[in-house]
Amino acid sequence: MRAVQVSEYVKGPLDLKVSTIPTPAPAADKYLIEIHSAGTNFFDILQIQGKYQHQPPLPWVGGSEFAGTIAAVPSASSSPKFKVGDRVFGAIQGAYATHVLAPEASLLPVPQGWSFEDAAGLFVTAPTSYGALVHRAGVKAGDWVLVHAAAGGVGLAAVQIAKAKGATVIATAGTQRKRDIAKEFGADYVIDYTDKAWPEEVKKLCAAKREGNGKAGVDIVYDPVGMIDTSLKCVAWNARLLVIGFAAGKIEKVALNRVLLKNVSLVGIHWGQYARFETETVGEVWKGIFGLVAKGQFRGTAFKDESFVGLESVPRALQALGGRETWGKVVVNVVGEKAKSRL
């Protein structure tokens, strides 16, 4: 098979090379999948540089999110959930390749009517945002939700989920293009958070459009950037602030007196660990997401301003992602035209 194999750590994505290595043999406990599209994540960039918390022994194939078709079922399983030819998406080490082996727990069926491209970016972002907003913050109709970096991977998922649950969404993003995208995916209001006065903008909106305690600010903050401390300036009584990530690169410190004074909750989520500590919630979260998909309330967020075709485009795709040039999910079409003809 062809794969972006890492034999030694590289300085950056543009040093990555595509090579030909043996296709994995069908396994007793795993499915063999023919990959059509691979999603990119910031942690892929850290991993190729040897800077990520999970570094397999060299050599290994980069990438983790993918969508494709089942090429072989686990030989030891008497009742496999998927059959040869089924369209699946999932995440496992080694997605920047034409083939990968994955256990059943890392696979889900591609939603009806979805392309491989959209499905390849679903496995990490959608459940993170659904788990955070629905299970951790208890979002409900009438809430006002502030989504930071709203045009990013988890951000665009959060905008759609909050809207589907009946909330009003204020989206922040750093460029006009990204703010337009957030609006296109349902945000009610957009704010440029590169302007330091953005919390004032949020307060003004809430004062003008909300009633009672809501006049002071939003009920939920969804923060993948590291902006909790500043966001505390524009929250309502009983607000929940979701700590999703630190895309700005700094783990911030928060003035806890504000947490007390405003009667608010700081709430973390580590989605990847639900499979270990809270498996029952994993099923509920996916049931919720597939429900929104079926009702047309959640759609794929694959980045469309540039296309990445073939494994040779993985370096450029990762460069664009790392350079903050993109919105939604940056997806590489691993097999090019062939993938389209199989939809």
Ligand X SMILES: NC(=O)c1ccc[n+]([C@@H]2O[C@H](COP(=O)([O-])OP(=O)(O)OC[C@H]3O[C@@H](n4cnc5c(N)ncnc54)[C@H](OP(=O)(O)O)[C@@H]3O)[C@@H](O)[C@H]2O)c1
Residue 165: CB minimum distance to ligand X, A = 19
Binders of ligand X among residues 14 to 43 (CB under 6 A) are 41-42
Query: What letters, b where the CB count within 10 A reaches 16 and e where it falls short, cover 165-186?
Result: bebbbbbbbeeeebbebbbebb
Considering only 85-93, 106-114, 133-141, 153-161, which stretch makes contact with ligand X by CB under 6 A?
153-161
**Binding string to ligand X for residues 204 to 243, with x set by CB under 6 A, is what?**
--------------------xx------------------
In the structure encoding, which two tokens stand for residue 226, read together? 């590291």
Could you give the string, one character per residue 44-83, with x where binding to ligand X holds by CB under 6 A and - elsewhere? ----------------------------------------
Among 244, 285, 293, 332, binds ligand X (CB under 6 A): 244
Contact 329, 120 (CB under 8 A): yes
Three-state DSSP class for residue 89: strand
Binds ligand X (CB under 6 A): choice among 60, 246, 286, 290:
246
Q: Does 310 bind ligand X (CB under 6 A)?
A: no
**Whether the Cβ atoms of residue 29 and residue 76 lie closer than 8 Å to each other:** yes
- Among the listed ranges 23-31, 67-75, 87-95, 268-276, the one in contact with ligand X (CB under 6 A) is 268-276
Strands, E assignment, the chain = 2-3, 5-6, 19-20, 31-39, 60-61, 65-72, 87-91, 99-102, 107-109, 144-147, 168-173, 189-192, 218-223, 235-243, 265-268, 308-309, 331-333
Q: Between residues 20 and 194, which has the closer beta carbon with respect to ligand X?
A: 194
Which tokens belong to 281? 């919630």
Candidates 90-98, 99-107, 147-155, 294-302; binding stretch for ligand X (CB under 6 A) = 147-155
User: Quick one: how many helices (H) and strands (E) in the chain?
Assistant: 12, 17
- Please report, as residue ranges, which positions from 100 to 129 form the binding site for ligand X (by CB under 6 A): 124-125, 128
- List contacts with ligand X (CB under 6 A): 41-42, 124-125, 128, 149, 151-155, 173-174, 178, 224-225, 244-249, 269-272, 321, 324
